Structure 1
Amino acid sequence: MLDDSLLDLPDALARADRHGLLRGAAEAGARVRTALRHATEAGVTELSPEGRPRAVLIAGSGAAATGTADLIGALAGAAAPVVRLTPTGVAPAAGALRWTLPGWAGPVDLLLIATTEGSEPGLALLAEQAYRRGCTVVAVAPGRSPLSEAVGAARGLLVPMATAPSGQYAPNGPQTPTGERAPNTEGPEGEGTLVAGSGALWALLVPLLVLLDRAGLLTAPAETLQRVADRLDRTAERCGPAIATYSNPAKTLAAELADSLPLIWTEGTAAAPAGRRFAAVLAELTGRPALAAELPEALPAHGALLAGDLAGGESDPDDFFRDRTEDGQALRARIVLLRDRPAGGLTAAPAARELAIGHDTPISELEPEEGSELEALAELIAVTDFATLYLTLAGATPA
């Protein structure tokens, strides 16, 4: 059950947030800026690729790496095939995963490796395999790691992963003893505390966006990425723990999703990967099942769910005299509609709302402010990440 009262008690949220998850989410904008600087210092912005790669292969471990592959695939569109390499077994090291290049991969293909750890033997072996095949290798990983050595041996390019700056300003976050905001005390090498979450996603994603922009596969100039960082900062201010639920879109969404099965329906290029990420982090952090689908396919795909036991209303309204105190809270479907600019200006949102009303199913809607596709993506990810964290910290679990 969700403790609604906890949402408007910043001190209580801070005590519950033993791993600094809210701070990590608030520092996503800072992580974008640091990652952009690391990419520049690594020489990515000066690259002059000779034509586009035939295909982009992406490998990595953890949720952040998985999300990176999904986002790049959505943003690249039809410019070049984007193939996520999934582990196919175990590597020679005990308990290690193994990644393998497809048989057709060769000198005209680009291998991207993204990891927050850099110690996976399987990724080091993948870099070696790519070198033997003639693939170009680019990795984003911790600078001092076994993977960095393997990428160097494969004559690849390594961009050190941006960590969260020590003492970095976080909207509505830690203050000095005098009550002033903590200053940015980032060291000369950008060292700091690495906090898992959306910050890790952007730390991996930004250098690869810069690279693919240089290769002509998508549009992500430095100016756009700076605006993404600004959008993340503004969203963190709107969604911070000090902002009351009634004016905080993330807390509002968290309260609406209490005891619900989220059906995440998306419309628009940026909304689709944001919705899939939302479902993944809900499952990972809260243990709450969630289903994501794109409109208009979501309507027939989830229509049967809305007509069954998960639909709104009581499952047995005639049993007035049953002892409800002994009943567990029933899990009911709730639609979460994430919208960006739909293709061709056509929208299936009215049909989605009509279906929800027809099945007595509540619906929550999120739509980003005007801006580029990357800015819209950043805002949707930030709001849903904060909502997931509030659900986690307030003790929300499926009934």
Structure 2
Amino acid sequence: MLDETLLDAPEALAGADTHGLLRGAAQAGARVRTAVRHATEAGLTELRPDGRPRAILVAGTGPAVSCVADLLGAFGNGAVPVSLLRPAGPLADPGALRWTLPGWAGPLDLLLLATPDGTEAGLAALVEQAYRRGCTVVSVSPSGTPLTGATAQARGLAVPLAAVPGEAYEGPDPRDAYEQPRPAPPAAPGVLWAMLTPLLALADRLGLAAAEPTGLQALADRLDRVAERCGPAAATYGNPAKTLAAELSGALPLLWSEGAVAGAAARHCATTLTALAGRPALTAELPEAMTAHGALLDGALAGDDTDDFFRDRVEEPEPLRPRIVLLREGAPAGESATVAARDLAYGHGTPISELEPAEGSSRLETAAELLATLDFTAVYLALAGGRRP
């Protein structure tokens, strides 16, 4: 159950937030600005590429790397295929994971590596594979790590990862758990922007995305505005993230998206809800979502108890009820699918929530609005739901 009284108690939220998750979400804009500075100092923004790569391969660790690949593909509009390399290994431990380049990879291709760790032996081995094949390599990881050294040896470009609050912390400090947070979990908000921002700057240099310095500044500004609107000091009635967290209490979120950026946000949200809040969530893109998830709206989860009306429910936990969350980019082309989704939900009595950025937002700002709001939502569900990641 969600303790909704905690949502409007900023001091209590801060006390429960021993990992600094709220701070990480609030500092996303600052993380973007730091990442831009690191990319500039590394020389990334001064690159003069001879042309576009044939394909972009993305590899890394942590829940955010899938969203990095998703968003690079979305912003590129299919001009260059973007593929996420999935690791294999006997254990889930990042140190045991290994990556393999596809057989066709060669000098025309670009390998991007993004990780909040940088000590993974498998990623360093992947850099060696890329060097032997002639692939260009760019990595984003903490400075001074083995991956940074491997990238330099392969004549690639290594960009330092923008600092994550709490990563230098040695252990709990009973004097002030909020000021001295424990190391953030892998799915902590902010890690995504630290890894993605330098790669967006690179995509701009390659002509694959409109992510010039002014666009990245607008991205950071939008993240700041979302943090102000969704932060712990903002009351629930005017706070989209707290409102959505309350609506998702006891619900199975069905994240239905319209558009490539919204789809990336939905998939990242499902990962974050599971990793931080321990909540299951399902994703699908419109219009296929109405068919893929339609059976959930009038199945066992829909709450039809007429067959056993008089049974004792005192000891029974409340079952999860489906709730549709519509994530939109505001594209007029998707309006008909959105209207149909609303009609389907209303026809089955299924509650529905909607997130859509303000009209006129760029695709970068759209990504910022959706992802930051959903990150705050996942954090509030984790903290007010009594889960400590």
The verdict on a shared fold, with TM-score over 0.5 as the criterion, is yes
1:268 aligns with 2:259: yes
Provide the TM-score with structure 2 as the length reference: 0.91
Question: Unpaired runs of 5+ in structure 1?
Answer: 167-181, 183-192
Give the letter aligned to residue 73 of structure 1. G
1:117-152 per-position Cα deviation (integer Å, ceiling 9, x unaligned): 000000000001100100000000001101111001
Alignment of 1:354-365 (within 5 A): 354-365=343-354
Shift of 1:305: 1.1
Give the letter aligned to residue 349 of structure 1. T
Whole-Å Cα distance in 2 between the matches of residues 94 and 164 of structure 1?
19
Alignment of 1:323-362 (within 5 A): 323-342=312-331, 344=333, 346-362=335-351
Kept in 1: contact 2:229–2:239 (CA 8 A) = yes
Whole-Å Cα distance in 2 between the matches of residues 296 and 32 of structure 1?
33
* Secondary structure of 1:349's aligned partner: helix
Shift of 1:281: 0.6
Give the letter aligned to residue 199 of structure 1. G
1:388 aligns with 2:340: no
Pair 76,94 (structure 1): closer, same or farther in 2 beyond 3 Å: closer
Alignment of 1:245-260 (within 5 A): 245-260=236-251
Of 376, 379, 382 in structure 1, the residue corresponding to residue 369 of structure 2 is: 379
Q: Which moved more, 1:301-310 or 1:247-256?
A: 301-310
The corresponding residue for 2:30 is 30
The corresponding residue for 1:295 is 286
Identity %: 63
Whole-Å Cα distance in 1 between the matches of residues 291 and 209 of structure 2?
32
Whole-Å Cα distance in 2 between the matches of residues 3 and 154 of structure 1?
52
The corresponding residue for 1:283 is 274
Question: Unpaired runs of 5+ in structure 2?
Answer: 167-178
Whole-Å Cα distance in 1 between the matches of residues 324 and 190 of structure 2?
27
* Secondary structure of 1:326's aligned partner: coil
Alignment of 1:45-84 (within 5 A): 45-84=45-84
Kept in 2: contact 1:164–1:195 (CA 8 A) = no
Shift of 1:78: 1.3
The corresponding residue for 1:173 is none
Give the letter aligned to residue 340 of structure 2. A
* Secondary structure of 2:106's aligned partner: coil
Whole-Å Cα distance in 1 between the matches of residues 308 and 124 of structure 2?
62
Shift of 1:242: 1.1
Give the letter aligned to residue 266 of structure 1. S
Provide the TM-score with structure 1 as the length reference: 0.89
Shift of 1:105: 0.4
The corresponding residue for 1:11 is 11
The corresponding residue for 2:20 is 20
1:242-292 per-position Cα deviation (integer Å, ceiling 9, x unaligned): 111111100000000001100000112321100111111111112211101
Whole-Å Cα distance in 1 between the matches of residues 228 and 234 of structure 2?
8
* Secondary structure of 1:198's aligned partner: coil
* Secondary structure of 2:128's aligned partner: helix
Alignment of 1:88-237 (within 5 A): 88-89=88-89, 96-164=96-164, 197-237=188-228
Shift of 1:164: 4.2
* Secondary structure of 2:293's aligned partner: helix
Give the letter aligned to residue 252 of structure 1. T
Aligned length in residues = 370
Kept in 2: contact 1:266–1:294 (CA 8 A) = yes
